[in-house]
Chain A
Amino acid sequence: MKKAFTFALFMVLTGIVLSSSSLFAGIGVDPTVTEISVSPGGKAKGTFTVVNDGDESVQVVVQPENWPRKRGAIDISSWLKIKPEEFKLGAKGVRKVKYKVKVPKEAQGELMSMVFFATTAPAGRAVNIRTRFGVALYVTVKGTEVLEGEISDFRVKKVKSKEEKEKLYFTALVENRGNVHFRPRGKVVIEDEQGKKLDEVEVQYGWPVFPKNRRLYRANWEPEEIVPGNYRAIAIFNYGDIYSELDKQFEKDISFEVTDRGEIVTIGVEKN
């Protein structure tokens, strides 16, 4: 009995399947990101194009969600209607899905939803796999925008690339103090101790910072040689381009020394 128990097998995810498909979904949606501006009480509408790249028809469910998934956001159903909410899409099929936005009169800043197009999970599998394809819908409440941000932290450290080459790795923590998202477009300017510009490196553009939130942006400086000496680095970001406020800019600088031993000493900052 004990032996029988010891060698007892228990069924764990048997992998027994009732369907022969090995491919899940194939759903894609366009546009992937929509940014619109609507007055309080105003309306807007548009369409999503949903495609099925797969070889089988799929049942698609539309699931708009608050994003980021935080409590306290205005209930999506009060400002966003989508039709149809569920439909079948044949292999290689294309379907238009309409949406309608009605901005509540009391809304301020922006409304945001990640609209997911989910395939319903096939039944009968031990492990069901569901795919969801989310597209972003940003609605700026016209006239109530507060566009405000800063770099709350700016650091440098030395790292090695895959090829074992030394580089300086800058990180800038950008904080959004306003009520609409923005996409910082930035660079890091590196100067020597006389203030002569040595180089500048771009920060990757695209990731948004949500209202009352922070995001870390990175840049690498990979010169031929990192010569010992004193340096100054300035992170400069423009962040108003979505709203045609091109003069919106914030910056922060740090001074640091590269010692003879190749260590980075940030001036005015205690070593961790």
Chain B
Amino acid sequence: MRRRFLFLIFIVLFILATKVADAFADVATTAGVDVGAEVKSVLVTVRNVIGDQPTSAIGFGNISSAATFVSSPQYLEVTCGSTALAWGVQIYTNNAGYGGEQKGGLISADNSSRVPLLWRVFDSMQNPGIGVPCINSPGWGFVKDKNDADMNGSWPGDGVQIEYRSIVTNNGLGAFPSPGRSGSSPVYVYFGADFSGVPSQSYLTQIVIEVYNL
């Protein structure tokens, strides 16, 4: 009886193993049209505005409760590219836990408050030691969030405006501080944030730098 049971187990395991091995073997390969050829990658480096040295994270430090717009003392150097006919890089946050309607930006540790995060992109480093001062929002793009209701239906390929998250495409630089600029990799992304009226807390987020090829 025990021998029969073990034999049955063996048969079942053998069938399962065969299935797994065949998972990618039971289909014919269909010739694809590989529009891209050379492998390109995305590299993101965080740098200090002062001294231009690589550093570990973007931050705003300790902010006075009276503060409104504040510039980040760090910026991103984004090196990217593609051999695809159409490609781009976008930026957004992923704050799924925040309950507000607009979720883009920095979120308080208790998920109750949001600090709008702003960006500008250039194809060269700006003002060594000074960066790009952020004193108000005109000319800055508000960082959108993946979980914003108005993100769906307006992704690249839909043919509608995506200027709030597109930092560079094979057609040129993103729309902030000004649209219609040519430019190529690497690109430099500077940040500001509007701390008006937010309570004293730690604010956190996850920034996503996303390359897409079409």
- A-side residues, CB < 8 A to B, are 5-17, 19-38, 43-46, 49, 51-54, 67-71, 81, 83, 98, 100, 102, 114, 116, 121, 125-136, 183, 204-210, 213-216, 242
Which residues on the B side are within 8 Å of A23 (C-beta)? Answer: 43-45, 54
Most central of B47, B83, B157 by chain A CB within 10 Å: B157
Docked complex Cα distance between A213 and B206 (Å):
31
Give the residue name and chain of the B residue nearest to A23 (CB): B45
Instruction: Check if B36 sits within 8 Å of A32, measured CB to CB.
Output: yes
Q: Which of B168-214 contact A (CB under 8 A)?
A: 170-171, 193, 195, 199-214
A211 to chain B, nearest CB (A): 10
Q: Which of B26-78 contact A (CB under 8 A)?
A: 26-47, 54-66, 72, 74, 76
Q: Which candidate, B120-128, B130-138, B147-155, is the interface stretch facing chain A?
A: B147-155
Which residues on the B side are within 8 Å of A53 (C-beta)? Answer: 41, 43
Q: A131-B209, A216-B159 are in contact. Are A69 and B23 (CB under 8 A)?
A: no
Instruction: Check if B213 sits within 8 Å of A33, measured CB to CB.
Output: yes
Instruction: Give the size of the chain B interface in residues (CB under 8 angstroms).
Output: 77
Most central of B46, B159, B201 by chain A CB within 10 Å: B159
Is B94's beta carbon under 8 Å from chain A?
yes
In the A-B complex, the 4 residue pairs with the closest CB atoms: A15-B59, A206-B85, A32-B36, A28-B41
Which residues on the B side are within 8 Å of A129 (C-beta)? Answer: 44, 46, 58, 76, 206-209
Kindly count the residue-residue contacts between A and B in the assembled complex, taking CB atoms under 8 Å apart.
260
Instruction: Check if A29 sits within 8 Å of B54, measured CB to CB.
Output: no
Most central of B38, B156, B170, B205 by chain A CB within 10 Å: B156
Instruction: Check if A45 sits within 8 Å of B32, measured CB to CB.
Output: no
Docked complex Cα distance between A49 and B37 (Å):
11
Which residues on the A side are within 8 Å of B210 (C-beta)? Answer: 116, 131-134
- Pick from B85, B171, B195, B208: contact of A183, CB under 8 Å: B85
Which residues on the A side are within 8 Å of B74 (C-beta)? Answer: 15
Which residues on the B side are within 8 Å of A5 (C-beta)? Answer: 65
Which residues on the B side are within 8 Å of A26 (C-beta)? Answer: 41-43
- Pick from B30, B46, B61, B170: contact of A38, CB under 8 Å: B30
